[in-house]
Amino acid sequence: MSCKEHQEQFQQRQQQWQELVTKACARFPERRETFTTTSGLEFKRLFTPADVENIDYVEDVGFPGLYPFTRGVQPTMYRARFWTMRQYAGFGTAEETNKRYKYLLENGQTGLSVAFDLPTQIGYDSDHALADGEVGKVGVAIDTLADMETLFDGIALDQVSTSMTINAPAAILLAMYVAVAENQGVAPEKLRGTIQNDVLKEYFARGTYIFPPAPSMKIITDIFAYCKDNLPSWNTISISGYHIREAGSSAVQEVAFTLADGLAYVDAAVKSGLDVDVFAKRLSFFFNVHNNFLEEVAKFRAARRLWARLMKERFGAQKPASMMLRFHTQTAGCSLTAQQPDNNVIRVTIQALAAVLGGTQSLHTNSRDEALCLPTEDSVRIALRTQQIIAHESGVADSVDPLAGSYLVESLTNQIEEQALAYIRKIDDLGGVVKAIEAGYIQQEIGDSAYAYQKAVETGEAVIVGVNKFTIEEAPPENLLMIKPEVEVRQREKLARVKAGRDQQAVQESLSRLRQVAEDGSNLMPAILAAVKTYASLGEICDVLRQVFGEYREQ
Amino acid sequence: MAKRIKVLIAKPGLDGHDRGARVVARALRDAGMEVIYTGIRQTPEQIVATAIQEDVDAVGLSCLSGAHNNLFPKVVQLLREQGADDILVFGGGIIPDADIPGLKQAGIRAIFRPGTPTEETIRFINENVSE
pLDDT given for residue A481 in this prediction: 84
First to last CA, chain B: 12
Long-range CB pairs of A373-381, under 8 A, 24+ apart, other chains included:
A373/A480, A373/A481, A373/A482, A373/B94, A373/B96, A374/A91, A374/A481, A374/A482, A374/A483, A375/A89, A375/A481, A376/A479, A376/A480, A376/A481, A377/A100, A377/A103, A378/A479, A380/A87, A380/A89, A380/A100, A380/A104, A381/A107
Can you give the pLDDT at residue B1? 52
Tell me, yes or no, whether B11 lies in a domain. yes
* This prediction's pTM: 0.95
User: Phi/psi of residue A239, each to 5°?
Assistant: -75, 120
> What is the pLDDT, as a whole number, of residue A387?
98
B102 min Cα distance to partner chain A (Å): 15
pLDDT at B68: 96
The pLDDT, as a whole number, for residue A555 is 72
Is the peptide bond between A68 and the residue preceding it cis, with omega within 30 degrees of 0? yes
Q: Which pLDDT belongs to residue A342? A: 96
Which residue numbers in chain A have pLDDT < 50? none
Q: Which fold has domain A57-438?
A: TIM Barrel (3.20.20)
**Chain A residue whose CA is closest to B39:** A554
The answer to whether the Cβ–Cβ distance between A131 and B97 falls below 8 Å is no
Name chain B contacts of A334, Cβ cutoff 8 Å.
19
* Closest by CA position to B41, among listed B24, B57, B21, B23: B21
User: Number of folded domains in chain B?
Assistant: 1
CATH code where residue B11 lies = 3.40.50.280
- A340–chain B Cβ distance below 8 A for any pair: no
Quick check: A451 and B23 CB within 8 A? yes
Nearest to A119 among B14, B69, B71 (CB): B14
d(CA A537, CA B18): 29
- The residue segments making up the domain with residue B12 are 6-128
Domain boundaries, chain A: 1-30, 57-438, 485-549
The CA distance from A124 to the nearest CA of chain B, in Å, is 10
Q: List beta partners, residue A92.
A: A140
Cα-Cα-Cα-Cα torsion A395, A399, A402, A405, nearest 10 degrees, comes to: -150
Nearest C-alpha of chain B: how many angstroms from A326? 26
Q: Which 3 state secondary structure label does DSSP give A318?
A: coil
Q: Is residue B1 part of a domain?
A: no
Residue B40 in domain = yes
Output the CA–CA distances (angstroms, integers) from residue A472 to A340, A456, A498, B111, in the order listed. 8, 21, 51, 20
Averages of pLDDT over runs of 10 residues in chain B (131 residues) are 88 96 97 97 97 98 95 98 96 94 98 93 94 58
CB-CB neighbours of A525 under 10 Å: 23
Res A110: pLDDT: 82
Cα separation, A265 vs A311, whole angstroms: 12
Contacts with B22 from chain A: Cβ below 8 Å:
447, 450-451
Residue B117 lies in a domain: yes
CA atoms of A122 and A139, how far apart (whole Å): 12
For residue A73, the model assigns a pLDDT of 98
The answer to the question of residue B74 being in a domain is: yes
Q: Answer yes or no: is B21 within a domain.
A: yes
H or E element that contains A43: strand A42-43
Q: What is the pLDDT of residue A67?
A: 98
What is the CA A130 to chain-centroid distance, rounded? 27
Contact between chains at B70 and A119 (C-beta distance less than 8 A): no
Cβ pair A133:B13 closer than 8 A: yes
- Which tens digits make up the pLDDT trace of A293-309? 999 999 999 999 999 99
Which residue of A118, A467, A485 is in closest CB contact with B15?
A118
Give the ipTM: 0.93
A190 residue type, one letter: K
Q: Number of H helices and number of E strands within chain A?
A: 21, 11
Distance CA A425, CA A421 (A): 6
C-alpha–C-alpha distance, residues A365 and A348, integer Å: 6
Alpha helices in A2-140 (DSSP H): 3-27, 94-106, 118-121
Q: Is residue B47 part of a domain?
A: yes
C-alpha–C-alpha distance, residues A39 and A51, integer Å: 19
